[in-house]
Amino acid sequence: MSRFSAKVRIVYLTLVILFTGGVFLYLLDTWGVIRLEEKLPFLASDPPRAPLSEDSQTLLDKEALEKQEEKLKEKELQLQEMQEKLLERQEALKQEQQKLEEARSGLKEARKQLERESEARQTRDEKIQQMAERIGAMPPDDAVAILRGWSNVDMVDVFVQMERNAEEAGEQSIVPFLITKLPRERASLITTLMMDAVAERMPALENSAEPTPP
């Protein structure tokens, strides 16, 4: 029991000494004799911050607004560039569309022109066939009287058709006889033109002819 009491007294005395030493050190720090924060860094406290003045707060707000304005200007520039690119793209697409429409219109007009030419050629061929049959059925003198008023092109086309009809019918063509009744110079010209027309027609006939079996 006495041993236990002795230990309690030791602990008590130790606590009293520590407390007394702490109070003494605090007083010395308070009086400026020593600086505990230099010896013990964890005792150092952050220096107090002075509150911002109204002018300082206004300056900070102004800087924040200027930064926001700069960001907005950057976004506006980006949007403007995007808009310009879109306008350029739309203009390019518009031009391409216009070219496409022009090309389509050109093809349509070319198709109509071909149809008109084909119809005109068919109408002329039918007329040439009718005139060839009519001239071939007329007396030579009456036929020549009509032929004299024709153009060289019409006369050659009718003569070529008359020879073709005679060849298909297996008959003798009267075209050479009719040419002899024309004036000499015109007869020579018509003969030359007929030879050229037959020469131009020969490749087409060769291409359209069916190949003969071996």
- Looking at residue 210, its pLDDT comes to 46
What value, to the nearest 5°, has the Cα angle with vertex 94 and ends 89 and 100?
Answer: 125
Q: According to the model, what pLDDT value does residue 183 have?
A: 92
pLDDT in the model for residue 41? 59
Total-model pTM: 0.47
Query: What average pLDDT does this structure show over 138-143?
Result: 91
Residues contacting residue 143 through CB under 8 Å, at least 6 positions apart: 135, 136, 178
d(CA 132, CA 102): 44
Lowest-pLDDT range, 41-55, 65-79, 82-96, 178-192? 41-55
Distance CA 98, CA 102 (A): 6
Higher pLDDT, 39 or 212: 39
- DSSP states of 125-172 as a string? HHHHHHHHHHHHHS-HHHHHHHHTTS-HHHHHHHHHHHHHHHHHHT--
The predicted pLDDT at position 22 comes to: 74
Domain boundaries, the chain: 2-42, 126-202
Q: What number is the average pLDDT over the span 65-78?
A: 87
- Does position 29 have pLDDT exceeding 90, yes or no? no
Tell me 40's DSSP state.
Answer: -
Q: pLDDT (tens digit, 9 = 90+) per residue, 93-133?
A: 989 988 988 898 888 889 888 888 888 889 989 999 999 99
